[in-house]
Amino acid sequence: MAAEVQALSTNGGWPYDVERVRADFPILAREANGYPLAYLDSANTSQKPQVVVDAVADHYLQHNANVARAMHVLGAESTERYEHGRSRISRFIGAARPEEIIFTKNASEALNLCAHSLGVGLSEGDEIVISEMEHHSNIVPWQLLAERTGAVLRWFGLTPDGKLDLEAAVRDRLINERTKVVSLTWVSNVLGTVNPITKIAEQAHAVGAVMVVDASQAVPQMPTDVAALGADLVAFTGHKMVGPTGLGVLWGRYDLLAELPPFLGGGEMIEIVKMTGSTFAPPPHRFEAGTPPIVEATMIGAAADYLDQIGMAAIHDHEQLITGYALTALAEVPDLRVLGPTEVAADGRAINRGGAISFTLGEIHPHDVSQMLDSRGVAVRGGHHCARPLHEAFGVQSSTRASSYLYTTTAEIDQLVEALLWTQNFFGGGR
């Protein structure tokens, strides 16, 4: 597919021919429980195109060796490919230099790294600001840090339509001279809300705080320019952007990274080790202890190539259109309550929204809903989606989440809606 996609610009208002994209993802052609698979769980993990899967075999069959330490051809090739992954992802997000990219195990580890390394400078009474819509990965590391240091954890509350309550934040002086870190999700994995990161980063910087962004749901779906975003540290995860599991990314401003202490200790992150103490390599290697995710780094490079060939602006447009289509279709399902923004523009596009749509269906338990949908070939997620405080704020224990991506079709959304109506009838709740 690749380059031709750009040329396939007009498809009834859609930015590209989604069937051509789907042909790159063999798994999407399979059935589930006797129905065509409707994979609506991409906020959980995305599917992988053939080129990304091929990168694994190519690496192991032709170039496999450890990086940095092997003094032979394969070692040089492997190191070159690993570092190419770094520079490729650096370009993908508009970083100033590849050394600003740290590879971790996943977004969770990247956020733990932030909490650990920033936490070394924190003391009792300092404040850390997060929000009620965070994934547990951007709550728990800060709670642990607050326990360790005596720092105070504060948070943005939510408005009834699932946005950050910015007015209450101003009223309560949430960001103030005691604030040392503000850490927010850019796009909610439950609500789809897109947060005003640049504006909040300005407020954080005005009081001398560091701005951390969890971009796990943003980088896969929209063009990302970390230079323009205004944050200091940005974490995301390979497996949600058609790339590998086992690889997270932390971008940081180089001058900040150069000041931060390491997170994990081990081989390849040091300068000199003596029995009496060690000194550490400059970033990024200071933060990459041990054998890194080598093949995964080559996969993330292939994933960035793939996404850029289609174009992140086109992918974002597809996402807005398919999400608008889904919000409009779901509005017709009786007793279905969407958690989060539901605005759809006159042209059918969701307004400033990510592709995750979480909802409740009358009194039917989200686990039952998810199982019923699965029996009709529709893959969604049921539960709290690692965001319990968010669900509590909405007065529910859990929800069902349907999430789209660059390969999602209107037919899959129709299959979801039909399966929801069927589920309602099964439980006697239809109208």
Ligand X SMILES: Cc1ncc(COP(=O)(O)O)c(C=O)c1O
**What residues are labeled active site?**
386
- Shortest separation between residue 195's beta carbon and ligand X, angstroms: 11
Q: Report yes or no: 211 and 204 within 8 Å, Cβ to Cβ.
A: yes
Phi, psi of 270 (to 5 degrees): -105, 165
- Shortest separation between residue 340's beta carbon and ligand X, angstroms: 13
Q: Which residues contact 274 (CB under 8 A, 6 or more apart)?
A: none
- Shortest separation between residue 2's beta carbon and ligand X, angstroms: 26
- The half-sphere exposure of 404 on its side-chain side, counting CA atoms within 13 A, is 30
- Shortest separation between residue 214's beta carbon and ligand X, angstroms: 5
Reduced to 3 states (helix: H, G, I; strand: E, B; else coil), residue 62 is helix
- Shortest separation between residue 189's beta carbon and ligand X, angstroms: 3
What residues make contact with ligand X under the rule CB under 6 A?
106-108, 135, 137-138, 185, 189, 214, 216-217, 237, 248, 386
Please write down the HEC assignment for all residues of 190-253: CCCEECCHHHHHHHHHHCCCEEEEECCCCCCCCCCCHHHHCCCEEEEEHHHCCCCCCCEEEEEC
Phi, psi of 117 (to 5 degrees): -75, -35
For the residues of 235-302, what is the DSSP string, one character each?
EEEGGGTTS-SS-EEEEE-HHHHHHSPPSS--TTSEEEEETTEEEEPPTTGGG--SS--HHHHHHHHH
- If the CB atoms of residues 300 and 364 are measured against ligand X, the closer one turns out to be 300
Cα 389 to Cα 384: distance, rounded to the nearest angstrom: 9
Query: What single-letter DSSP state applies at residue 14?
Result: B
- Shortest separation between residue 43's beta carbon and ligand X, angstroms: 6
Cα 346 to Cα 6: distance, rounded to the nearest angstrom: 25
- If the CB atoms of residues 270 and 289 are measured against ligand X, the closer one turns out to be 289
Q: Which tokens hold the place of 378?
A: 């529709």
